[in-house]
Amino acid sequence: MANPKQLPDSIYSPEQLEACQMELEQYLGWRRRQDTRKKVGATTKAAEPFLLSPEMSDLLGMTEDAAMLSTGELEAWQTRLADWLKKPVVHLTFAVPPTVGIKADMVKWFRKEISPDILVRFSINRNIIGGLVVRTTGRIYDFSFRKQFLAHQNLIPEILHRV
Amino acid sequence: MSSYQLILIVIAALTLINLATLGWVALLQKKLRQDNQAVSSTQKDLNQLKQEAHNVMLAETLIELESSANQSIQGIFDKAAAEFTTSLQKASAQITEQMQTGASQLVQQELEQYKETLGNLREAASGALGQINDALEKQKATLTADLEVEVKKQQQVLIEKFENKISDVVSAYLVESLGNDVDLGAQSQYLFKMLEEHKGELKQEILGGEPEATTG
């Protein structure tokens, strides 16, 4: 089981956490129903097995069977997920859709250099041409090519004259 | 002839004289009566005449008197009319003069009051006009200054718009040209370099430090 105090790098965005939260709630409901069936010795046909998503399995640190966890532990995970959702979020905007590798590198860098629980939300804006725009709750760090162009836009008339 | 005789003769003579006198007196008395009657008749006639004369005279007198009265009345009327006319003319002249004098005085007084009021108004208007002119000058100066500032702002805005437009054109050209072929891998060195350069600020901002001016 992974360290429950730290998010895996595969789960980095609030949307993923919310999806995990919803999935965990559904799984917990399923588990409670199963436990009730066992208690009462139900003979009717059991429900289909609940298959956790890879992200959820990765989060819970179980690759095969989540049934090892008790409902109490699952409820503790619910609380943990709710706490993680309160962690700081940084928005990264690229000119083109970032690759999985770039995303992973970015998440690793932010969790290593800034905060181990930070959440990262990726978005795309072609108008920035290239580079990166980092937005936190209160500030915007514009490392985009557009910003660089605008910073040197006084060169455009000179270049036009030269041309 | 004795004395007695003589006396008798004298007495007889005297008696005869007396008798003659008596007769003559009787005659005279008769004549007197006749005369008296005549006189009486004459008197009556005279009275009648007098009466008639009186009547005639009275009528004439009345006519004369009437005429005289008419003349007098006419004279009085004429005189009174003349006096009245004269008095009326005098009164009219006086009234006219008084009216002219009064009107002239009244007009003069009103004119003076009007001049005074007009002078006051002119002074007040002049003062107000001066204030208005001052205010207008100030307003004009302010507006001119504001206008100059606004024109400069507009010029700056237009220049910025133009530059942004040019930048947008260039950016759009780059975006359209590059499409999705921008190699993020090639940029990753630049991206991590920028992140490293601003790591301290990012950490401070994200972990609850004091906000700083926007950079990048």
Q: What pLDDT digit, counting tens, does each position of B89-143 carry?
A: 887 788 888 878 888 888 888 889 888 988 888 888 888 888 888 889 999 999 9
pLDDT over 90 at A46, yes or no: no
pLDDT over 90 at B171, yes or no: no
| Chain B environment of A145 (Cβ under 8 Å) | 174
Q: Cα dihedral angle (B184, B188, B193, B194), rounded to 10 degrees?
A: 30
Of A98, A115, A127, which has the smallest distance from its Cβ to B184's Cβ? Answer: A98
CB B195 to CB A113 under 8 A?
Answer: yes
Is this complex scored with an ipTM above 0.85? no
Share of chain B above pLDDT 90, in %: 9
CA distance B209 to chain A (A): 11
Confirm or reject contact between B4 and chain A (CB < 8 A): no
What residues form DSSP beta bridges with A124?
A94
pLDDT at B176: 64
pLDDT over 70 at B46, yes or no: yes
CA distance B141 to chain A (A): 35
Please state, in angstroms and rounded to a whole number, the distance separating the CA atoms of residues A61 and B157: 57
pLDDT over 50 at B84, yes or no: yes
pLDDT over 80 at B210, yes or no: no
CA distance A130 to chain B (A): 7
CB A114 to CB B214 under 8 A?
Answer: no
pLDDT over 50 at B9, yes or no: yes
Calculate the average pLDDT of chain B.
80
pLDDT at B216: 41
Nearest CA in chain A to B174: A129
pLDDT at B214: 43
CA distance A146 to chain B (A): 7
pLDDT at B213: 42
| Chain A environment of B181 (Cβ under 8 Å) | 96
CB A94 to CB B184 under 8 A?
Answer: yes
Between B36 and A46, the higher pLDDT residue: B36
pLDDT at A42: 76
Per mean pLDDT, which range of A3-17, B105-119, B160-174, B201-215 is the poorest? Answer: B201-215
Q: What is the mean pLDDT of residues A87-103?
A: 91
Q: What is the mean pLDDT of residues B44-71?
A: 80
A140 — pLDDT class (breaks 50, 70, 90): very high
Per mean pLDDT, which range of A63-67, B69-73, B82-86, B211-215 is the poorest? Answer: B211-215
What digits encode the pLDDT tens for the residues A15-42? Answer: 999 999 999 999 889 888 888 888 888 7
pLDDT at A18: 93
CB A139 to CB B214 under 8 A?
Answer: yes
CA distance A114 to chain B (A): 5
Nearest CA in chain B to A108: B192
Share of chain B above pLDDT 70, in %: 88
pLDDT at A14: 93
Of A96, A138, A143, which has the smallest distance from its Cβ to B216's Cβ? Answer: A143
Please state, in angstroms and rounded to a whole number, the distance separating the CA atoms of residues A114 and B207: 8
B215 — pLDDT class (breaks 50, 70, 90): very low
pLDDT over 50 at A1, yes or no: no
| Chain B environment of A96 (Cβ under 8 Å) | 180-182, 184
Q: What is the mean pLDDT of residues A81-108?
A: 91
Please state, in angstroms and rounded to a whole number, the distance separating the CA atoms of residues A35 and A50: 14
Long-range contacts of B199-206 (CB under 8 A, 24+ apart): B199/A113, B199/A114, B201/A139, B201/A141, B202/A90, B202/A113, B202/A114, B202/A134, B202/A136, B202/A141, B203/A113, B203/A114, B203/A115, B205/A136, B205/A137, B205/A138, B205/A139, B206/A88, B206/A90, B206/A114, B206/A115, B206/A118, B206/A136, B206/A137
pLDDT at B173: 67
Nearest CA in chain A to B164: A150
Nearest CA in chain A to B213: A139
pLDDT at A134: 94
Kindly report the pTM of this predicted structure. 0.50
Task: Report phi then psi at A131, rounded to 5.
Answer: 80, -150
CB B207 to CB A90 under 8 A?
Answer: no
Confirm or reject contact between B163 and chain A (CB < 8 A): yes
Q: Which of A132, A146, A152 to mutate to test the interface with B (most CBs of B within 10 A)?
A: A132
CA angle B177-B182-B184, nearest 5°?
170
CA distance B155 to chain A (A): 16
CA distance B194 to chain A (A): 7
pLDDT at A64: 52
Between A2 and B9, the higher pLDDT residue: B9
CB A149 to CB B212 under 8 A?
Answer: no
pLDDT over 50 at A127, yes or no: yes
CB A129 to CB B198 under 8 A?
Answer: no
